[in-house]
Structure 1
Amino acid sequence: MSDASDPPRADEPPVPRTRRAAGESRRAVEPQDSGPHLQAHLRAARSELENQVAQAKADFEEANERIKERTGRDLILAILIALAIGVVLLGSLLFVKWAFVVFALAAALLAVFEFGRALRTSGRRVDVVPQLVAATVVVVSAYFVSSWLLWVVLFVALAFVVVWRLVAQMAAHDGRVYSAVIGDVVIAAFLQLYVAFLAALCVVLLSQERGEWWVLAFIIVAVASDTGAYVAGISFGKHPMAPRISPKKTWEGFAGATLAAILAGVLVGLFMLGLPWWLGAVFGIVILGTATAGDLGESMIKRDLGIKDMSSWLPGHGGVLDRLDSILLSAVGALALYYFFTPLVAS
């Protein structure tokens, strides 16, 4: 290979010096010019990407504001908190079964506390500390004692909170009228039955053979029902379902909840519970009914108390009980279906 400075061979025509100099000049300039051109291209691509990201962010925030205006919920925070709760739930159920008892107890105690505080704000007399003690005993006992003994524990817990309220009222000497005292006693028992006992039934289901899968399955169906109702209600909702109880719930949302619950029920039945598809569909329909009833029941309680949410502890969701309303009552349906379906599948 000859160098550019070597003289031309005899069989090659001589290259003019000026043309050689121009070629060398172009080769020297081209590498220098490619740097600025590449940088300009990268800057343009980055600027276009930033514009697209900014536009997507603006569109998402606009959609989020529309949803927030219609539902009063912050979609971004709601999704993040739901994901965090879901991770903790899955970890407790799939890896350390008894850890779900701690999760259920914490949720039940927070729900009892915020419900008791809401009742006290409305003028009711609620003894929060005794309620928390009784709820702890009921929920924890559900995992360790037999089913019939749990009823004994529940009876003792109810007697404890009722007697405490009566003694506290007698010690107060504040002239509270008889009807108000009776109302306080009924509410004291209702707190235990509504929150602690229903949470305990969920723990009872957990304690059964493969119970962790049944707990996870009914929670998935309840969440799918709630999500289906939310999406369909936001997208198509026009006809109120129960305007006096919950004005934002629509029949279109209920249709979305039905489809989501049945689909989720079939899937969890086939792949988690070992049920035929039609039993999975029945599972979805039953959980749909209990979840809807629980949601409407808690909405009725909040309307009676004159509040929108039980608390603001979970941004984008409301309070803990606002997230448990459909779960608590669904524990009853799931436990009943476990006792009913297990012999059918085993046979």
Structure 2
Amino acid sequence: MQTELKSRIASGAVLAAVALGATWAGGFAFQLLAVAISLLVYYEWSTVTKLAERDFQGNAFGWLSQAVIAALVLLDYMPLTLPVLVTCAAIAALWVGLRKTSWWLFGGIVYAGLTGISLAAIRGADYLGLVAMLFVFAVVWGTDIFAYFTGRALGGPKLAPAISPGKTWSGAIGGTMCGVLAGVAVFMAHFSLQDLRIPLIALVLSVASQVGDLFESFIKRRFGVKDSGRLIPGHGGVMDRVDGLIFACGAALLLVLGQLLLAGGREVPFGSVLLGL
């Protein structure tokens, strides 16, 4: 256990350094990171769910959809990414419905596609995007780290024993508290806290990240695999490492889109909307 923990900490530190470096650099460097994560997520999703075996042509379309979305992100055509994703998902749904194949194709296209889109949208190209991305990282990482250690230290009733037997309510609550505090700390390092909006957003993202963790655990249990891959020592695959981040970024994207719709669809920086600035 000690060896596994050391490996987990070491690989986690390297991954955090890469993520923070790309986040600080912004621009093409972060877009490349977002695209790499989304493509690796689709690879692991399609491998775990055996999409190539179930539906080779559908899986080829899945890869095509991810390639198109990745190109749009890298070329900085962000306004086109969501319409393209919706179109690809609709085509996949039609294909699955007509051919009676696997709905995991539809899920993979949406799951991986939103990963790259939401990451790139949050970071954006300005200072507020940098703070917003650091805010999300702080919430997700704070939740993940302290949920692990709090759960091991306190134990208690299981959170979802049928899906992930190792997770406890004490870990979930402890992780959420620390995730919110970490997010608020990042925000207050740059701006003054005026109301409860930021803690509430951090709470939503923290809960979303834990739901994302449980969702990936459900997929692995459904297909009888321990890890989504073997790329990261101590963590397994990329999906094992970013499952919570994917759901948190997706929740942030929905929050911002909702606010923009209420505001009449004005084109404003994503980071400023998420942070309420």
TM-score normalized with structure 1 length: 0.67
Check 1:295–1:335 CA distance in 2 against 1; reply closer, same or farther (3 A cut): same
Q: Does 1:235 align with 2:153?
A: yes
Code of the residue aligned with 1:201 in structure 2: it is S
Say yes or no: does 1:191 pair with 2:144. Answer: no
Q: Cα distance, 1:86 vs. partner? A: 1.1
Q: Does 1:145 align with 2:62?
A: no
Determine the structure 2 residue equivalent to 1:109: 39
Q: Residue 282 of structure 1 aligns to which amino acid in structure 2?
A: L
CA deviation map 1:220-256 (0-9, x unaligned): 2101101111001111112111111111100111121
2:159 maps to a residue whose letter is: M
Q: Could you tell me whether the CA contact under 8 Å between 2:158 and 2:168 is conserved in 1?
A: yes
Q: Aligned partner of 1:153: which letter?
A: V
Rg larger for: 1
Task: State how far apart, in whole Å, the 2-side matches of 1:129 and 1:89 are.
Answer: 29
Looking at structure 2, the residues matched to 208 and 338 of structure 1 have their Cα atoms a distance apart, in angstroms, of 16
Residue 75 of structure 1 is matched in structure 2 by 5
Residue 202 in structure 1 maps to residue 119 in structure 2? yes
- Of structures 1 and 2, the one with the larger relative CO (CA 8 A, separation 6+) is 2
8 Å CA contact 1:233–1:249 kept in 2: the answer is: yes
Number of residue pairs matched? 261
Contact 1:228/1:257 (<8 A) preserved = yes
Which residue is equivalent to 2:235?
A: 317
CA distance 1:284–1:151, change in 2 (3 Å)? closer
Q: 2:143·2:176 contact (CA, 8 Å) conserved in 1? A: yes
The residue aligned with 2:203 is 285
Task: List structure 1 segments (4+ residues) > 6 angstroms apart after TM superposition.
Answer: none
CA distance in 2, matches of 1:115, 1:142: 20
Name the CA shift for 1:85/1:129 in 2 (closer, same or farther; >3 Å): farther
Cα distance in 2 between the residues matched to 1:272 and 1:310: 37
CA gap of 1:201–1:107, structure 2 versus 1, over 3 A, is same
Shift of 1:280: 2.9
Judge conservation of contact 2:122–2:129 (CA < 8 Å) in 1.
yes
CA drift at 1:115: 1.5
**Structure 1 unaligned regions, length at least 5:** 1-62, 66-73, 167-177
Report the CA distance shift for 1:121/1:156 in structure 2 as closer, same or farther (over 3 A): closer
Return closer, same or farther for 1:345/1:96 CA change in 2, 3 Å cut-off.
Answer: closer
Distance 1:198 1:192 in 2: 10
Tell me by how many angstroms 1:289 deviates: 1.3
Q: Which runs of 5+ in 2 are unaligned?
A: 260-270
What is the aligned-residue identity percentage?
26
How far apart in 1 are the matches of 2:82 and 2:272? 23
Q: CA RMSD in A?
A: 2.8
Q: Residues 270 and 140 (structure 1 numbering): CA distance in 2 closer, same or farther, change over 3 Å?
A: farther
Q: Distance in 1 between matches of 2:130 and 2:59?
A: 30
What is the 5 A alignment of 1:201-220?
201-207=118-124, 209=126, 210-220=128-138
